[in-house]
Structure 1
Amino acid sequence: MDKSKQRALTQWLKSQSSLAKPWLVATISIALLSGVLLIAQAALLAHLLHQLIIEQTDKFTLLPSFLALAGVVLARAACSWAKEQTGYRCGEVIRQHIRHLILNRLEALGPVSIQGRPAGSWASLILEQVEELQDFFARYLPQMAIAVLIPLVILVAVFPINWASGVIFLVTAPLVPFFMALVGIKAADANRKNFKALQRLSGYFYDRLRGLPTLKLFNRVEAEAEQLHLASHTFRQRTMEVLRLAFLSSAVLEFFTAISIAVVAVYFGFSFIGELDFGHYGASISLFTGLFVLVLAPEFYQPLRDLGTFYHAKAQAIGAAESIVEFLDAQPDTGTQGEATPDLSTVTIIAHDLEVLSPDGHVLAGPMCFSIQPGEQVALVGVSGAGKSSLLNALLGFLPYRGSLTINGYERSELDLTHWRQSISWVGQNPQLFHGSIRDNIALANPEATPETINQVMTQAYVDEFVMRLTDGLAHPVGDRNGGLSVGQAQRIAVARALLQDGALWVLDEPTASLDAHSENRVLETLSAATQAKTCVQVSHRLDSLTHSDQVWVMMDGKLVQQGPYHTLAETGPLAEMLASADRRNLDA
């Protein structure tokens, strides 16, 4: 990663910190207070030892000093606890904000763009990579200020007592951040590679886990296990490289810190035996002076050492931020969204020279022209890859387009998509149920629906046929991969969900493609009743059901090659060929 990109990512990370500025200021203030208490602790400790060793003062006379020292130690402990709490809150606020940005971006991109990457990589982006930003905001950013303020406060305390030790501190202090930066540049690049390897591993593992039955049936478990081993080995190598750099930088920082403290100790040692006579202000160097400065010496470098330790948090954050920023900024939009909210109690759709585009601008389907009047039933047929799903996704607002696609006289790009989608009842061929109960999944479009309304749509969609047999009824938990429900049962729940939405436009994407005969008949009965007097666009694989449609659209290679009533299109052209081909397959069967 070049330096300009690192600077840009660092600037982006710092810009996010404004969201948690009160917590950041609180963390720095508490640390500064702890630094002042540290000087008081060093002074009390040096005073007690000087009085006991040199002045031979009775220890009971020093009882107030002992109590003050205990109080300062407890106050510093409280400051450390409070600093950890405020630092954590600082990171928490920013992580929540960044996750919100990512989720909003995912919502804007829609399912077409999201399906272009493995689900595991999205999980890695939202969970692991955002989590890796925590220490940057909770520790590194506050430590940047603390590493300046605490040494400055210590210098203010040391210089009036002994200027020589203050000069030693000033001369040796820059060595720590200098070598920290040298190692940190390499660490940032190592962390970036590590996160890339983690994303690949997460996506690879999740996809293979979901497809385990398929791998077993095709005897590919061992081969895929070997590939997973190679991916995990790459991730291990990247991780070990990061750890190697972390240990290397820690050793370098500890070395120069130890050298600096040793120089201060040697200076005072030679001063006490009379070999050195400078650094003081006329008076001889006392035990109090030596102990005070030597106690503060490690603490002078400690904030710089902590900054070096937390510098790896910066390297981790830069590595994680690269993918996050690329996702938030570099991905193309799926199309514009307006603010128009027309009356959508009935729906008229007109397209002219419509071209459906991929997220990166390639033409997926079109150009095409069509019109759908209120209450009209349209059947869309064609082979796989003909462009049917692309057309539906443009209609739903998941893909951009060129040309004209008007809804009740408004371009789809001018509509508020939330308002537009509230008027759509959608049923797809692969029903997606979510963690929760069966009732939660039915009431997805209207969580405030009454029990009477829920029961009504359950009956209409024949969900009650199997819910009554479940011990928990509507409270039956639904988990990953539909939670033990069959595809037919899950599809009926999806139909009930669409009935509850009760949109003016119904979009049906092969809703019976994966169903058995019984479930297919039930779903078709429900949908036929629900779409009466409603505008409906249905992608269908059942050519025998086209006779009930007002229009039949035949798509080939992204174009609408036929439009019109079934009885007209069935006589000649692509639809007639499709019907003849279906008849031959039935005869062969």
Structure 2
Amino acid sequence: MAKSPAIDRPAPKSPKSLSGLLPFLKPYRLQIGLAMVFLVLAAASTLVFPIALRQLIDNGLQHPDPGEQAMALRGNFMMLFGVAVALGLFSAARFFTVSWLGERVTTDLRNAVYSHVLEQSPAFFETTPTGEVISRLVADTTLVQTVVGSSLSMGLRNAVMGVGALAMLVWAHPTVMLQLVVTVVLVVWPATLYGRRVRRLSRASQDRVADASSIATEVLNAMSVVKSYTAETREAKRFSSATEQGFQTAIRRTRARSVLVAFIIIANAAFLLWGLYQGTQAVLAGELSAGQLGQAVLYVIIFAGAVAVLGETYGDLLRAAGATERLMELLGSTSPVQSPNKPVTSTPPTTGSTLAFQSIQFHYPSRPSQLALQDFSVDIAAGQTVALVGPSGAGKTTLFALLLRYYDPQLGQIVLDGVPIQNLSLHDLRQRIGIVPQEPVLFSSSAMDNIRYGKPDATDEEVRAAAVAAFADEFIVDLPDGYNTFLGERGVRLSGGQRQRIAIARAMLKNPPLLLLDEATSALDAHSERMVQAALESAMRGRTTLVIAHRLATVQKADQILVLEHGRLVEQGKHLELVAMGGIYAGLAALQFNA
């Protein structure tokens, strides 16, 4: 089994890419303003702390009068405590406001992307793997949440603190300021260069995690095949190999980050201690007070810490910029199939739809050189049952896709009840059509909810009536909780025939004038086929029906049989007429019925 490819991680981008988030931030201007106020107040509280400490040292500890000294100490400690309380309250308010913003913006962004993807035509998924869409919805939005709800706030807070500390040092200690510039050059610059290696290893680690997740998803969705080939041990080893590679990459990343942390701590400590030593010499020489020295040291620490945090925040911003670009690509995609600006409104017929295919020519977007349908024309009267017959790849399923406007033909048009389908809104068009696919799709919910999917506002009685008409009621009532029984993922608790009858009940509840049946009985045993066939005959009454079938026994009673080959309509008529013609259909009938 080939190894599943890892999803490409976005390379570092410019932080300007984050501008795509502005439409999602605009509705929350008030919260952003509050967050900025709390951020500035928290930073200001931090910057006031060294000044309060200087007052404690110079005015409290060095006061000549013992009584006055005690009062001064008490006042200075109360001031320090007041600063700490202000810092705690403003930091908590900033944290809550910014975290709320991160969660809210991420939720809005995730909902917008998901809703937009649901509006795309199948052509979109021909070039965009579903796994990549899920990755963008989950991994990329999580990165955005980290930045909006944490990193950006931390970066702004430390930028304010860093600039404030720098300004205080320039004003009070120009000499220390010069040493600070040297510290920035000799510590931050090499740390930034080495930090690029850490970020590369972080992305590599994410890729290895994606590899393991891809393997797990692939295998868990094919458990029946894995078990039938007794491949459990083999797949466990394959997953273990992927996770081991992830572990080794994570260790390399951790080792590199440990070296970076050690370098920053040791280098900063060295420069700070050197500055402190020079400061103590200045205090001994009477050039500087002890309080001024303590104040300068704290501002240097604040500045160095702010620079370190900004370095990490910048890396997060780059990663989030790449994630934002990928999300904006999804939001910027446009479906080639759109509802008209002024759709035609008409009442659906009650006796079946009329249908006309007029000179249809079509190729799939991913295969422009291969025509799926060529000059296809046919008229279908209301209430008729029309069978589509032909080898695989003849264009039968393509007709269904065009009728549902998953795609639009390059030439020709389809007319439904006298109106070209391009003139109907997509909602109205698809509401007129019910489909029972070869592989019925059931959701992870109850039997009641799965049938009601065809008509969300249907009552319980309407759902049961549809189930009775589709011969599904007889097995549903025997389930542990009846109609409220959870059917499992993709309906795994039901047999193939039972799943098919649920799908038929869903289509009947929708009650459309046009019904599409795509090989609805091809994968069933004889008993299930009889039950499903009876359900289908019930569903077809009073409706126009198009049936795709390889088993010709199921289409002998059709009003018309259309024989397709290589996208062309090559034969048309009833069963006995086509047999008498001695053409393609007659050959297929001879093979099946003689067998």
Q: Same fold (TM over 0.5)?
A: yes
Aligned residues of 1:354 and 1:405 also touching (Cα < 8 A):
no
Aligned residues of 2:11 and 2:322 also touching (Cα < 8 A):
no
Mapping 1:53-202, distance limit 5 Å: 53-55=61-63, 57-110=68-121, 114=125, 121-170=132-181, 172-173=183-184, 178-179=189-190, 181-183=192-194, 185-186=196-197, 189-202=200-213
Aligned residues of 2:117 and 2:330 also touching (Cα < 8 A):
no
CA deviation after TM superposition for structure 1 residue 226, in Å = 4.0
Q: 2: CA distance between counterparts of 1:400 and 1:184?
A: 51
The equivalent of 1:512 in structure 2 is: 521
Match of 2:473 among 464, 470, 477: 464
Structure 2 residue identity aligned to 1:386: A
Q: 2: CA distance between counterparts of 1:544 and 1:7?
A: 61
Structure 2 residue identity aligned to 1:540: A
The equivalent of 1:281 in structure 2 is: none
CA deviation after TM superposition for structure 1 residue 402, in Å = 1.1
CA deviation after TM superposition for structure 1 residue 503, in Å = 1.5
Match of 1:563 among 572, 575, 578: 572
Structure 1 residue identity aligned to 2:160: L
The equivalent of 2:3 in structure 1 is: none
Q: Does residue 301 of structure 2 align to residue 309 of structure 1?
A: no
Q: 1: CA distance between counterparts of 2:539 and 2:125?
A: 31
Aligned residues of 1:188 and 1:318 also touching (Cα < 8 A):
no
Q: 1: CA distance between counterparts of 2:42 and 2:322?
A: 32
Q: 2: CA distance between counterparts of 1:256 and 1:400?
A: 66
* Secondary structure class of the residue paired with 1:380: strand
Alignment RMSD: 3.2
Aligned residues of 1:365 and 1:391 also touching (Cα < 8 A):
no
The equivalent of 1:20 in structure 2 is: 25
Structure 1 residue identity aligned to 2:348: S
Q: 2: CA distance between counterparts of 1:234 and 1:556?
A: 50
Match of 1:531 among 540, 545, 550: 540
Structure 1 residues 179 and 336: alpha-carbon distance in aligned structure 2, compared to 1, 3 A threshold: farther
CA deviation after TM superposition for structure 1 residue 33, in Å = 0.9
Q: Does residue 589 of structure 2 align to residue 579 of structure 1?
A: yes
CA deviation after TM superposition for structure 1 residue 406, in Å = 2.4
CA deviation after TM superposition for structure 1 residue 63, in Å = 2.6
Structure 1 residue identity aligned to 2:528: S
Q: 1: CA distance between counterparts of 2:319 and 2:257?
A: 11
Structure 1 residue identity aligned to 2:167: V
Structure 1 residues 410 and 263: alpha-carbon distance in aligned structure 2, compared to 1, 3 A threshold: farther
Structure 1 residue identity aligned to 2:578: L
Q: Does residue 290 of structure 2 align to residue 287 of structure 1?
A: yes
Q: 1: CA distance between counterparts of 2:141 and 2:587?
A: 54
How many percent identity over aligned positions?
24
Structure 1 residues 208 and 387: alpha-carbon distance in aligned structure 2, compared to 1, 3 A threshold: farther
Q: 2: CA distance between counterparts of 1:473 and 1:174?
A: 73
CA deviation after TM superposition for structure 1 residue 118, in Å = 6.8
Aligned residues of 1:140 and 1:307 also touching (Cα < 8 A):
no
Structure 2 residue identity aligned to 1:355: F
Aligned residues of 2:444 and 2:490 also touching (Cα < 8 A):
no
Q: Does residue 407 of structure 2 align to residue 405 of structure 1?
A: no
CA deviation after TM superposition for structure 1 residue 580, in Å = 1.3
Structure 2 residue identity aligned to 1:298: I
Aligned residues of 1:356 and 1:390 also touching (Cα < 8 A):
no
CA deviation after TM superposition for structure 1 residue 117, in Å = 7.2
Structure 2 residue identity aligned to 1:541: H
Structure 1 residues 555 and 344: alpha-carbon distance in aligned structure 2, compared to 1, 3 A threshold: farther
Structure 1 residues 345 and 43: alpha-carbon distance in aligned structure 2, compared to 1, 3 A threshold: same
Q: 1: CA distance between counterparts of 2:428 and 2:320?
A: 38
Aligned residues of 1:336 and 1:414 also touching (Cα < 8 A):
no
CA deviation after TM superposition for structure 1 residue 536, in Å = 1.9
Q: 2: CA distance between counterparts of 1:344 and 1:567?
A: 37
Q: Tell me whether 185-194 or 573-582 shows the greater mean CA deviation.
A: 185-194
Q: Tell me whether 107-116 or 341-350 shows the greater mean CA deviation.
A: 107-116
CA deviation after TM superposition for structure 1 residue 345, in Å = 0.7
Q: 1: CA distance between counterparts of 2:209 and 2:336?
A: 27
CA displacement 1:430-478 (0-9 Å, x = unmatched): 2222122221111113322122212211211222212222332222123
CA deviation after TM superposition for structure 1 residue 542, in Å = 2.3
Match of 2:227 among 216, 239, 260: 216
Q: 1: CA distance between counterparts of 2:396 and 2:233?
A: 38
CA deviation after TM superposition for structure 1 residue 365, in Å = 0.7
Match of 2:511 among 502, 506, 527: 502
* Secondary structure class of the residue paired with 1:401: coil
Mapping 1:248-267, distance limit 5 Å: 248-267=259-278
Q: 2: CA distance between counterparts of 1:194 and 1:16?
A: 27
Q: Does residue 336 of structure 2 align to residue 349 of structure 1?
A: no
Match of 1:445 among 447, 454, 457: 454
Mapping 1:387-426, distance limit 5 Å: 387-408=395-416, 411-426=420-435
The equivalent of 1:366 in structure 2 is: 373
CA displacement 1:27-78 (0-9 Å, x = unmatched): 3432221111112222223322334432255435533332332232122122
Aligned residues of 1:510 and 1:539 also touching (Cα < 8 A):
yes
The equivalent of 2:37 in structure 1 is: 29
* Secondary structure class of the residue paired with 2:442: coil
Give the TM-score of the pair, scaled to structure 2.
0.85
Q: Tell me whether 311-320 or 147-156 shows the greater mean CA deviation.
A: 311-320
Aligned residues of 2:121 and 2:337 also touching (Cα < 8 A):
no
Q: 2: CA distance between counterparts of 1:139 and 1:53?
A: 40
Q: 2: CA distance between counterparts of 1:116 and 1:233?
A: 31
Aligned residues of 1:424 and 1:506 also touching (Cα < 8 A):
yes
Aligned residues of 2:60 and 2:76 also touching (Cα < 8 A):
no
Structure 1 residues 399 and 345: alpha-carbon distance in aligned structure 2, compared to 1, 3 A threshold: same
CA deviation after TM superposition for structure 1 residue 560, in Å = 3.0
Match of 2:491 among 482, 490, 512: 482
Aligned residues of 1:88 and 1:138 also touching (Cα < 8 A):
yes
* Secondary structure class of the residue paired with 1:538: strand
Q: 2: CA distance between counterparts of 1:414 and 1:139?
A: 49
Aligned residues of 2:340 and 2:425 also touching (Cα < 8 A):
yes
Aligned residues of 2:469 and 2:505 also touching (Cα < 8 A):
yes
Match of 2:386 among 371, 378, 390: 378
Q: 1: CA distance between counterparts of 2:294 and 2:178?
A: 17
* Secondary structure class of the residue paired with 1:62: helix
Structure 1 residues 345 and 397: alpha-carbon distance in aligned structure 2, compared to 1, 3 A threshold: same
Structure 1 residues 156 and 314: alpha-carbon distance in aligned structure 2, compared to 1, 3 A threshold: closer
Structure 1 residue identity aligned to 2:292: T
Structure 1 residues 423 and 296: alpha-carbon distance in aligned structure 2, compared to 1, 3 A threshold: same
Structure 1 gaps of 5+ residues are 278-283
Aligned residues of 2:434 and 2:516 also touching (Cα < 8 A):
yes
Q: Tell me whether 557-566 or 37-46 shows the greater mean CA deviation.
A: 557-566
Aligned residues of 2:390 and 2:563 also touching (Cα < 8 A):
yes
Structure 2 gaps of 5+ residues are 1-9
Aligned residues of 2:386 and 2:545 also touching (Cα < 8 A):
yes
Q: 1: CA distance between counterparts of 2:263 and 2:408?
A: 54
Aligned length: 572
Aligned residues of 1:44 and 1:65 also touching (Cα < 8 A):
yes
